[in-house]
Homo-oligomer: A and B are copies of this chain.
Amino acid sequence: MNRITLALAAAAALAGVVVCVVPSAGHAEGEAGALSGITLPEGYRDWRLISVAREEGELNDVRAILGNDAAIEAYRAGTLPFPDGAIIARIAWKFTPSEENNKIFGREQSWVAGDPPDWYLQFMVKDSKKYAATGGWGYAQFDKDGKPAPEAKMATCYPCHEPIKARDFLFTRYTP
């Protein structure tokens, strides 16, 4: 990864859990599958909550970070590294003022989760052998139509997560 690409990754960095360059609008690069062949994990929307976060700047989103049972148990127990089979899901929504709330409250203070952005869904899948080259985690991103981000974009994930190696490459901390 060259410096320019890494800088782009940093600039577009998604906190929460998964940090990748945001795909360009329209998915001009076509239907390339997500890096490492990860498909949309079944039932992820029913997973338990790890924490919430907000990214300002160009991303301008609000997000929830969910985990499957293996991930939640590892977070709560403080297990490091995470076990194979753990999956982290990061759902982002456009940071949207709630006009109906603000009207009732009488002031501009309420922001809610709006439409899904192109970087709607991101996942980190732990498989220490399969993804040994990227810290044991595979990375994937899907838009609202379930379309995976091009592999070239997903290759930018790991370099941004690498500095957080001491926490098994996970930016998000569990918040009770």
Contacts and interface: CB of A to CB of B under 8 A. Distances in A.
Interface of A: 7, 10-11, 13, 15, 19, 45-49, 51-57, 59, 62-64, 66, 93, 95, 98, 100-101, 104-113, 116, 160, 163-164, 171-173, 175-176
Nearest to A66: B49
Given A104-B10, A104-B13, A175-B113, A53 B59 contact: no
Task: Name, among A59, A113, A160, A171, the residue most crowded by chain B CB atoms within 10 Å (CB to CB).
Answer: A113
A7 B107 CA distance: 11
The quantity of this chain's copies bound in the complex is 2
Given A45-B176, A64-B64, A105 B10 contact: yes
Given A46-B48, A49-B49, A101-B15, A110 B163 contact: no
A69 to B, nearest CB: 10
A111 B16 CA distance: 9
Contacts of A48: 45-48
